[in-house]
Structure formats: C-alpha cells, structure tokens
Copies of this chain bind each other. A is one copy, B any other.
Amino acid sequence: MANCIVAQSGGPTSVINATIAGIVRANQMNPVYDKVLGGLNGIEGILNERFYDLTDMSEEENRILRQTPSSALGSCRYKLKRDNVADFEKLIKIMEKYDVETLFYTGGNDSMDTVAALSEYARSHGVTGRRFVGCPKTVDNDLMETDHCPGFASAAKFIATTALQTWLDVNVYTRQEVFILETMGRDAGWLAASACLSGHVDILILPEMDFDKEAFLKRVAECIAEKNKCYIVVSEGAHYADGTYIAAGEAKNDGFGHAVLGGAGKALENMILTTNTASRCKVQDLSTAQRCHASEQSLVDVTESFNLGMSAHMRSADGVFTGKMVGIRRKDGEKYDVEYFAIDADKVANFVKNFPKEWILPDMKGITEEGYSYLRPLIEGTPDIIMKDGLPAYVTPYYMR
C-alpha cells in the first residue's frame, strides 16, 4: 500500500473541508492508502514538503472539520504552468519520496487545469502509478459539467437569507430608500441570482448581460414611483456592452491576472444619487463573509461535499483513475436527488459555466421559474452545528499546527 495527498487551492468556501473529511472518512472505512497526508497550502506547500497527517482523524474532529469554513489545509494561488517542467518533475519526485500514489486536489477551474496538466505530464513522460484527481469547489458555481459546485449552495443560502433580512430592514421606514446588495461572481451570475430566492429582488444585474445605465435608472425610478423603495442585487462582475466593469474605477488585480472586483454597488449608488433618481441609497457588499459564513451551511451542500470526497477516494482505488474530476449530476425526477460521476478534468479546466441567459427575465426583473427550480433544492436543510462558548466550533487550521 502507498499514501495519498489531499490539498486545497483557490478561494475557500463554507464546505470545502467537508470534501477532505469525506476522503479521510472513506479511507478509514476502506484503507486504500496507508496514510492520508494533508498537503499544506496547496501545490505551493507540497513542493516544499509541508504535510499534516490526517489518517487517524477522530469522529469528533471529522464532524467539526465539516462545519469549519475556509481551507483548513491552507490554500494557494500558485498555478502550475504547463511549461514549468521543473515544478512537474519536483512534484513527481516528492510523490515518489513519500510513496504517494494519488493527489486529490480541490479547487476551481484553475485547479482542474492543474489536475489535467499533471496527469498529462505523467502519461507523456512514462510516469506510472501516480494519479491526480480533482474535486470541484467554488462559490461562483462556474464549473462546467458538474450540475453545481460544493460551496455554492451555502454561499447562495447566506446571500438569499441576507437579502431577505436586509429587505425587511430597508422597509421599516416610510422614507424613500434604495438598497443595493453586492455579491461575488466575476464572470458568472449564480451568486447574485440566488438572492432572488428571498422573493424580494426588484432589480438583478448579472455579468451574463450587458449593463444598460439608462434602462437601469428607468427601472429604479419605476420602483420608487410604485413603492418608494427599490431592492437591487448586483454581481461584482457586472459590465457594460464594451466589457468595461461598472466597478472599473475600483478594480485591482490578483496574482492570477484576474481582476479583483468590488465596488459595483458603490458605482450604482453613484449613478442613482447623481441623477437624483432616488434620494437615499445604502450599499451592502457581502465581500469575504459570503464565502465563509459557514454557520448557515446548506445541509444539501455540506453533505454533497462530504460525499463527493468519499466518491473520489473510492474511485481512486482503481489504479488508472487519473486526470479526472468527480462531479455532481442531478437525477431526473420530481424530488431532488444527485449522483456522483467522473469526467476528464480538461473538459472542465479553463471554461466558465454562466448563469443561463434563458433563465434571466427581461428588464433586470430577476430569474425565471427554471432558475428557481434549479436553486431552491440546493439551499435546503440546516446541519446541527457544534457550538463552543456561543460560537461555532472550528478546527485549528492544519497549516497552523
């Protein structure tokens, strides 16, 4: 027998650790691997041989790990470039040194590219017995092939809940008021669209459509005329027809060459106030909290994230399972149910799954019934959260131990 590594990459989510918990649990049920090594800070830490042994995790720690947000193993923004042969060789050497057969990597489409690239490198260089398996995670829900991504539903639930609560808040005064909720979602509007589950979104602005300032201000004015209020939800990635982000003034860059957005809400507020379309406006940018507010995990989400980890582990027992991502498929039928399946990681890597245009109502009025049907079952259920001194109990990150 040999060992495996589990590691996490990219931005954390509220349920990303449940996938790790699932892999660890599966190995305790069927010890395919001698050791389950947590690779710390993703590829970056693995290349520096930083590991934490997760093999014998207790039941209690496993439960608490599942409810702990953010990446308990640490994350990285380090991308294995396909021409970086030195890193590839180094990684294979480290896998040989630690007798690691399988590397499980949780992440978004960049991470699936890493899985595909490593697998391809091994194949083309005659490296045998080293397998690379991807597990999807991203609050953005923008991965191809999988029905949805672990992490999305809990963020969606927090966003919808917050939309409902802030809508109640903004209505208490008789005065005129516009409220703008800004969500994450660089290229895909899934998170912003999920706010519609609150039932109270007047204007929804997604990256899937070109922003039209005139039409927007007209719609705000209509809402104000009708009820003296207007509740707006905007994705950080909202943009004009020419591709300019409406938050353009605020954009910075992250290490991956992606624009770090933020400020779309503020930009809308400025439009509304400077044109006197309304006299009062508040902006709530959900920022970091939306991807780590695990105290309100969706039970569906955390369960699927755990099960997906189990499925990945089980499939990896087959010695030729490599270059694959394990995804979630929604089964046909009235009642929501899913199954897990495997797909070549390169079919997922570097693509973006947008919120379907046919699910977007005209005039920024929200989403269609198909959209609701897709979203509703994902936020169902509330896990029992283990508390400590009034706060949720969380594991100490392994990279800090």
Chain B residues whose C-beta falls within 8 Å of the C-beta of A172 in the assembled complex: 8, 12, 41, 70-71, 74-75, 397, 399
Closest to A14 in B: B165
Chain B residues whose C-beta falls within 8 Å of the C-beta of A165 in the assembled complex: 69-70, 289, 292-295
| Binary contact readout A386-400 vs B (1 if CB under 8 angstroms, 0 otherwise) | 010111101001011
- Whether B391 contacts A198 by the Cβ 8 Å rule is yes
Task: Please give the number of chain A residues whose Cβ is less than 8 angstroms from any Cβ of chain B in the complex.
Answer: 63
Chain B residues whose C-beta falls within 8 Å of the C-beta of A391 in the assembled complex: 157, 160-161, 164, 197-198, 379
CA–CA, A186 and B314, complex, Å? 55
| Given A75-B172, A76-B173, A173-B75, residue A292 in contact with residue B166 (CB < 8 A) | yes
**Which stretch (A118-126, A278-286, A323-331) binds chain B?**
A278-286
CA–CA, A169 and B155, complex, Å? 14
- Whether B390 contacts A168 by the Cβ 8 Å rule is no
Option from B160, B174, B385, B390 in Cβ contact (under 8 Å) with A298: B390
| Given A76-B173, A391-B197, residue A382 in contact with residue B385 (CB < 8 A) | yes
Q: How far is the CB of A52 from chain B (nearest CB, A)?
A: 14
CA–CA, A390 and B394, complex, Å? 23
Option from B70, B77, B162, B198 in Cβ contact (under 8 Å) with A169: B70
Chain B residues whose C-beta falls within 8 Å of the C-beta of A99 in the assembled complex: none
- Whether A293 contacts B164 by the Cβ 8 Å rule is no
Which residues from chain A sit less than 8 Å from chain B, CB to CB? 8, 12, 41, 44-45, 68-71, 74-77, 157, 160-162, 164-166, 168-175, 179, 197-198, 255, 282-289, 291-296, 298, 376, 378-382, 385, 387, 389-392, 394, 397, 399-400
What are 9 sample pairs from A and B whose C-beta atoms fall under 8 A apart? Answer: A70-B165, A70-B172, A161-B295, A161-B391, A162-B289, A171-B397, A175-B255, A197-B391, A284-B289
